[in-house]
Amino acid sequence: MPGSTQTRRAVAALVGLTTFTVLTGCGSAGSQSDTEAPAATTAITTAWPADVTSLDPANLSTGQDRALTRNIYQPLLSPKFAEQADGSLKFQGAEVVPLLAESWTTKDSSITFKLRQGVKFHGTDDEVTASDVKFSLSRIWKTPGVGDFKANGLQSPDQIKVVDPSTVTIDFVTSAGKPTPVTPTLMAIFSQAYTSILDEDAVKPHVTDSDPTGSAWLRENAVGTGPYAITDRKPGTSITLAASDDSWMPKPAYPDVNIQITTSGVSSLLRNQTINYADSGFTNAQVNTLGEAGLKVVWQDTGFFDMFAITAGPAEQVGALADQRVRQAIAYALPYQDVLDNVAYGRGTRAKSIVMDSAPEYTPAWEQYTTDLDKANALMAEAGKPAIDVPLYYLQGDDDQTNTALLIQANLTKIGIKANLTPQTQAGLFDVVNARSQTEPGAKVGPPGLELFNWSAWTDDPKIVIGYWATKGGINNYPLWSSETVDADNAKFALQPTSADRTAAYQQAQKEIADAAPLIPMITTGAVTVTTPGIAGVSFSPTGSGRFWTLHPEGTASPVAQLVK
């Protein structure tokens, strides 16, 4: 309530006690195919297709960067997890629990964190202080994370105030400087890997006029407090982690982690037990084969979904795609169930909104669209049967995306649309989006087309996906579609707490976007992790898993169940 004060003490466990029903497609493989029992796992060995690009938590650009950061660094807060029936841990929306901050107090537009005492940075006698927090967070204004900061009430480092060595207060204001309330989304910012806290004393000697944040040194050097520390690194070849003797946390159940950087197939490495853990680098078909071979397959809905985007404007440039009936025809032509059955193999569900279904503002606005070629052709006829010949962009080298694109292409052909398969690298996909959504004044807007994009917001607040993809000036607004009503409601409610008015506004926005059909959510793809039998505690969140410190042998207590007392 306005004017009220809430205090949160560090009494909540990182892992909630509620057990949730396992989602469709989730499950573990059957028993070991060999009669001989496998040797007990004492270390985690995994494989990544590429090395990290940086050890600097404020300059993360790949999944590998984020996974390593989650193990060697820590932010002030952690996402809250709940243990699932299969022993995995699933994030609980925007809910957070203490990590480096042991408690916090919120007022109308500020939050005061009380830091955990006696926490030391790896290999030093330096304890985490409020000055380290201010230094670490202030760096973000000179990094890619500044966009999320400014969109969530953090306009300037001046808003971060050191009260005493163990206390820091952060004020939140709009871009106009007006105080704005502390919401769950604003809180969740401080659970993100890029807000991790590092050792100011270790970094400052490497700060220069040309490198005011010390990012060049941090690219190759880690100064964190995480449960693991890097003990050996051979760039491009391997990374070795060991449980930190300095960590305030309980020692991980698997004290050693070996990460291989390899282009070898992850599926074959799992099958021959060269590695015992992987959360990327395989297709859904390979996952099925691994499960049949006796490996443990765990899937959870993490908010990731296949987004199908259609250029909707400007009309003089995109031609017939500016016609809402054409975009709706495409929505009715998309092969939702075929993708679920033949690409995802049941690990997923039909996505009925671009907003995560864990959000209070969620509404299944896109459920009106089912695969109905008769209806799609009728809409194309109403639109004058226009000739459409456009590129269909998708992720190069990803078999699941390729197969999805082929199914889409086949169905669009049946309604008279020629979609030319145009694979792109991950960076190339963003370039395609940016060429339309972030053009310089006077520059030519990128060409019309269709784009298949596997995407997730970092938390379940609808203002993120709607603000990014469906508002004027949105950084991912590839369609270049917008609505005065949606723009106004997003501007009004983006930084507001959940309320009946906010929920109604965002639900109406979803319905308006669905009806206009510049964006079509196809299926929730979630995330899959495969391990050898006997490993439990895999964690799932929108920004990835790879928390080795949550893993433990089946039948033993989770090392994180009693973390925050």
Q: Cα 185 vs. chain centroid, distance in angstroms? A: 14
| Alpha helical stretches, state H, 102-145 | 130-138
d(CA 141, CA 424): 30
- The rounded Cα 432 to chain-centroid distance in angstroms is 20
CB contact at 8 A, 425 and 311:
no
Tokens of 328: 């709706």
**Residue 532 DSSP code:** -
> Residue 564: is its pLDDT beyond 50?
no
- CB 41, CB 51: distance < 8 Å: no
CA geometry: angle 261, 264, 266, nearest 5 deg: 85
Beta partners for residue 424, in sequence order: 395
C-alpha 113, offset from chain centre: 25
In CATH, what is the architecture of 6-298+527-553?
A: 3-Layer(aba) Sandwich (3.40)
Contacts of 137 (CB under 8 A, 6+ apart): 157, 160, 170, 195
DSSP state of 380: H
| Spatial contact of 39 and 225, defined as CB atoms under 8 Å apart | no
Does the pLDDT value for residue 11 go beyond 70?
no
For the chain, the C-alpha Rg in angstroms (whole number) is: 24
H-run or E-run covering 320: none
Region 144-168: what's the mean pLDDT? Answer: 95
- Whether the pLDDT of residue 2 is over 70: the answer is no
In 3D space, the residue among 90, 5, 103, 212 whose CA is nearest the CA of residue 565 turns out to be 103
pLDDT for 13: 42
Beta strands 519-524; 305-310: pairing state: antiparallel
What is the spatial distance between Cα 289 and Cα 284, in angstroms, rounded to a whole number?
9
> Mean pLDDT for the chain?
91
User: pLDDT grade, residue 39 (50/70/90)?
Assistant: low
Question: What DSSP character marks residue 123?
Answer: T
Mean pLDDT of 393-414: 97
Q: Give the tens place of pLDDT for each residue, 239-280.
A: 999 999 989 999 999 999 999 999 889 999 999 999 999 999
Burial of 467 (0-12, 13-18, 19+ CB in 10 A): buried
- Report whether pLDDT(442) > 90: no
Tell me: the pLDDT tens digits for 74-122? 999 999 999 999 999 999 999 999 999 999 999 999 999 999 999 999 9
Measured CA to CA, the distance from residue 279 to residue 262 in angstroms comes to 14
Confidence band of 16 (pLDDT split at 50, 70, 90): very low
Distance CA 393, CA 378 (A): 26
Q: For residue 449, is pLDDT > 70?
A: yes
The residue ranges of every structural domain in the chain are 6-298+527-553, 305-524
pTM of the entire predicted model: 0.88
Q: Which CATH superfamily is domain 305-524 in?
A: Dipeptide-binding Protein; Domain 3 (3.10.105.10)
Query: Of the given ranges (54-58, 162-166, 431-435, 439-443), which has the lowest mean pLDDT?
Result: 439-443
